[in-house]
Amino acid sequence: MPRDGEPAATSVREAVFDLLRRLGLTTVFGNPGSTELPFLDRWPADFRYELCLAEAVAVAMADGHARATGRAALCNLHSAVGIGHAMGNLFTAFRNQAPVVVTVGQQARSLLPGNPFLGATDAAAFPRPYVKWSVEPARAEDVPRAIAQAHAIAMQHPRGPVMVSIPMDDWARPAAAVPPRTHRNDMAPDPAGLAECAAALAAAARPVLVAGAEVDAEGAGPALVALAEKLRAPVLAAPFAARVCFPEDHPLFAGFLPAAPGAIGAALAPFDAVLVAGAPVFTFHVAGECAAFAGPAPIFQMTTDGESAAAAGAGTALLGSLRLGLPALAALLPDATRPPPAPRPPAPAPEAGDPLRAEWLFAAIRRRLPPGAVVVEEAPSHRPAIQRHLPITEWGGFLTMASGGLGHGLPAAMGVALAGRRVVAVIGDGSMLYCIQALWNAAQGRLPVTVVVVNNGGYGAMRSFSGVLGVTGAPGIDVPGVGFADIARGFGVPARRCDTPAAVEAALAEGLALDGPLLLDVPVDPAIPHLYAKAH
C-alpha cells in the first residue's frame, strides 16, 4: 500500500494514459506495428488515433497540429524502422521548433541482448541530434515519468521534438502514477542587455528590425508591431522563416531577406542599427561573406534559441522570451520623431500567361483566401513569387518548413486542419510525391484542405540552383507524366485538373466552399527565376 501522499500503484499503461489526459495529449498520430500493440490494446474511448499511412506523414501531421495549437502533439512510431522512415520530417520538426512527443515501440526487454527482430540497437541514440532529448528508460516503471519529462522538454523554448523508446513488455508492468506538475518556461532577457540595445536603437538614425518565426510561435506579434511603430523602423522577414514574421500588408513591412550573404549585406547596408527578433543571424543557403558582420552598425539578436545565439556571426545576443523581452525593450525607448519609411510598393498584378504563370496562380489564391485560413506552403522554388503575390496578413496564417527537407507540407496541412483551421496547401509537384499518402487522411477526416499542386513538371528549385552554381545538363530534375488528380481520387479526395484561368478560379471557389478536401492540379510555366538574385 502506498504511504499517505504517494501516488497509487497502477500499470505503466494506465499511468501513461492518465498522464496523457492531464497533458492534453489525447490525439495520437501513428503508424502501428507489433511492438505498439500493447499500447494500443483496449484503446480508450476518449482518445483519438489518427492513422497515418507512413511514419513521415505521422510526424509531419503532429508537427502541423502542434504549431497550429501551440501545444505539444503525440506521435507513436514503430521501432527503429519507423524512426528511420520518419527521420526526414523529424529533422524538419526540429528545425521548425515543433513540440512533438514521439513514443517508439521497442522489442521486449528479455530479447534485447540477442539482437532480436525489430529490436532497436541503442534506440535513444538513433534520432540524435535531431531531437532535443531521447531516452529508453532503464526500468519499466520509469516510463510514465520519462514521458512527463519528455513533454516538459519539448515545450521548453526553443521547443522541439523528443523521443521515448518503450519496450513492448513494459506496458503491463506496475508503476506509480505521475504527480501533476506545472512548468513556466518563459525567461526575460538580461535587463542590462536590453538597456544597451535600447540605447543603440534610440541613437540610430536608420534602425531596422529583422523578424523571425519565433515571433509568431511565441504570440509576440502584437508586441513586435508596437515596437516597430514606436521606432518608426522598417521590418524585414528573416531568411527561411517557417512562420509569418510580420503582417505583410503593414506599411512598415519592407520585404524578405534572401539566404545569401552578399544580398543580406547589401540589404542591411543603409541601416545603422539592427535588431534581429526570433531568428538566427543569419540563415544562409549559398556561400559568401556578409558585409553586415564587419559593418559599423551594431547588431542585436533577441531569441530563446541558445544554439542560434552561440553561432558564429556578429552582434550582441539577448537570450530570453520575445513575449517578455519586446515589451520591456519598447518601454525603454522614446517615441521616434523621424518620418516613417516609405511603404513597400505593391506587387504589380501578374498576367495569367499561357502556360499559366505561377505568379498569377498565387495572386488568384490571395483574392479568394478567406479570413482565418492558414496557408501551408512547400513550393520552395516559387517562394519569392509567393511572398510577392500571396502576402500573409494574419498572425498564425502561414506555416512552412525551416529545414529544406521535402515531404513536410502536405501532411502538416492535414495536422493544421485537424486542429480546426481551414487550410490552403500550396505544394510543388516534386514535394507532393514525398508524402502523398496524407491525402488519405484528408479524405477520411473530411478535412477542410484545398490542396493546390503547383505543377512545373519537376524539381524547380534544382533548375534554379543549377543556374546559381553554373551547372548545365544535370539529370534527375524533370518529373513528367504524374497524374495528381487521378492519385487524389484514388485516395478518396475529389480533384480537378486546371489548365486555364477560368478553371483555376472555379476550382478555388469550389474548394474553399467545401467542408472537406479538394485538390487542384495546376500546370504552370516551368521557367524558374533565380532564387537569390536580390532581396525582395
Active site residues per annotation: 33-34, 36, 55, 78, 285, 404
C-alpha cell at 471: 551547372
What are the two backbone dihedrals, phi and then psi, of residue 232, each rounded to the nearest 5 degrees? 55, 45
How do strand 133-135 and strand 162-167 relate by DSSP bridges?
A: parallel
Residue 236 forms beta bridges with which residues? 210, 255
- Grid cell in block for residue 383: 517562394
Name the phi and psi angles at 314, rounded to 5: -155, 160
Q: Which helix (H) or strand (E) holds 6?
A: none
**Any idea which residue has 540589404 for its cell?**
267
User: The dihedral of CA 362, 366, 368, 373: what is its sign?
Assistant: positive
- Please answer whether residues 335 and 232 qualify as being in contact, where contact means their C-beta atoms are separated by less than 8 angstroms: no
* Total residues belonging to the chain: 536
For the record, the C-alpha cell of 261 comes out as: 550573404
Question: Measured over all CA atoms, what is the biggest interatomic distance in the chain, rounded to whole angstroms?
Answer: 78
Q: Which helix (H) or strand (E) holds 215?
A: helix 213-217
- What distance in Å separates the CA atoms of residue 419 and residue 396, rounded to the nearest whole number? 12
Spatial CA neighbour of 186 closest among 207, 157, 165: 157
| Residues 6 or more apart in contact with residue 302 via CB below 8 angstroms | 189, 197, 275, 276, 277, 278, 318, 320, 322, 325, 326, 329
Rg of the chain taking only CA atoms, in angstroms: 24
Locate all alpha helices (DSSP H) within 50-142, ordered by sequence. Answer: 55-69, 79-96
Nearest Cα neighbor of 58 from 81, 76, 39, 34 is 76
d(CA 166, CA 163): 10
Under 8 Å between Cβ of 92 and 408: yes
Question: What are the cell numbers at 209?
Answer: 528590425
